[in-house]
C-alpha cells in the first residue's frame, strides 16, 4: 500500500499522542494538554502520513509569516529510514512556502543524531546552541532553513488543514 498524506483529523489525536510518546523521552514528549493546545492553534498545521490504515508519522508546524516553526516531526520506529519523514517535510515546506513562509525554525536535542542528520540532509543549519533548553538540563540546537521564494506559477494559497480539539498551553519540546 503506498504512503498517503492527509490533514489531521481530531479522531487521530490518541494515535498521535501515543506516537509522540514513543518518539521522545519522557518530559520531552508532549503531554496531552500541550499537544491539544498546539493542534488547536489557528496558526498550526498538521499533516499525517498513512501506511495502509496505520498512522506512520506526522508533522506539526506553526506559522506566523514569514516565519514557521516545526513543533514536531514524528515517524514510528518501524517505518523509519523509508522516506516518510522526508515526504512529510517536503509537503509541509511546499505548503508553507505557498503561504508566504520564508524561514523555518526548529529545536532538537544536541544528542539526537538521527534528527540532526535528517534536518541537515534537508538543508537546515545549526544557528545556535540553547543551553539547558529541555527539562532545564538538556541542550538543544536551534536549526533554520531559508526557503527559496515560490515561483509565480502555482502561488495559489494552500488552505491549512483544519484542527479542532482545543485546550490550554504548555510546551515540552519548544
Ligand X SMILES: CC(C)(COP(=O)(O)OP(=O)(O)OC[C@H]1O[C@@H](n2cnc3c(N)ncnc32)[C@H](O)[C@@H]1OP(=O)(O)O)[C@@H](O)C(=O)NCCC(=O)NCCS
118 binds ligand X (CB under 6 A): yes
For 173, counting Cβ atoms within 10 Å of its Cβ (0-12 exposed, 13-18 middle, 19+ buried), the class is: buried
Which range touches ligand X (CB under 6 A), out of 25-33, 37-45, 113-121, 158-166? 113-121
- Among positions 5, 12, 17, 23, the unique one binding ligand X when judged by CB under 6 A: 23
Pick 153 or 171: Cβ nearer ligand X: 171
Which residue(s) pair with 134 in the sheet?
A: 138
Pick 22 or 164: Cβ nearer ligand X: 22
- Among positions 16, 29, 85, 95, the unique one binding ligand X when judged by CB under 6 A: 85
- Among positions 54, 121, 125, 166, the unique one binding ligand X when judged by CB under 6 A: 121
115 binds ligand X (CB under 6 A): yes
28 binds ligand X (CB under 6 A): no
Pick from 125, 119, 47, 49: which is nearest to 82 by CA?
49
Retrieve residue 110's grid coordinates: 544536541
Task: Supply angle C-alpha 146, 147, 153, rounded to 5.
Answer: 160
- Among positions 31, 40, 112, 161, the unique one binding ligand X when judged by CB under 6 A: 112
Pick from 65, 62, 30, 32: which is nearest to 46 by CA?
62
Binding site for ligand X (CB under 6 A): 23, 72-75, 80-86, 106, 108, 112, 114-115, 117-118, 121
Amino acid at each position: 500500500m503506498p504512503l498517503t498524506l492527509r490533514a489531521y483529523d481530531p479522531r487521530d489525536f490518541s494515535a498521535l499522542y501515543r506516537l509522540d510518546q514513543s518518539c521522545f523521552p519522557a518530559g520531552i514528549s508532549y503531554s496531552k494538554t500541550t499537544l491539544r493546545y498546539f493542534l488547536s492553534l489557528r496558526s498550526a498545521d498538521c499533516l499525517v502520513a498513512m501506511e495502509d490504515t496505520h498512522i506512520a508519522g506526522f508533522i506539526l508546524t506553526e506559522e506566523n509569516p514569514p516565519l514557521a516553526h516545526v513543533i514536531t516531526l514524528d515517524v514510528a520506529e518501524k517505518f523509519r529510514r523509508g522516506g516518510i519523514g522526508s515526504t512529510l517535510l517536503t509537503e509541509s515546506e511546499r505548503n508553507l512556502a505557498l503561504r508566504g513562509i520564508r524561514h523555518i525554525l526548529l529545536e532538537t536535542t544536541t544528542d539526537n543524531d538521527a534528527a540532526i542528520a535528517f534536518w541537515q540532509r534537508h538543508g537546515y543549519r545549526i544557528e545556535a546552541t540553547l543551553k539547558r533548553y529541555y527539562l532545564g538540563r538538556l541542550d538543544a540546537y536551534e536549526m533554520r532553513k531559508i526557503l527559496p521564494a515560490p515561483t509565480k506559477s502555482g502561488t495559489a494559497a494552500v488552505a491549512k488543514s483544519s484542527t479542532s480539539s482545543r485546550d490550554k498551553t504548555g510546551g515540552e519540546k519548544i
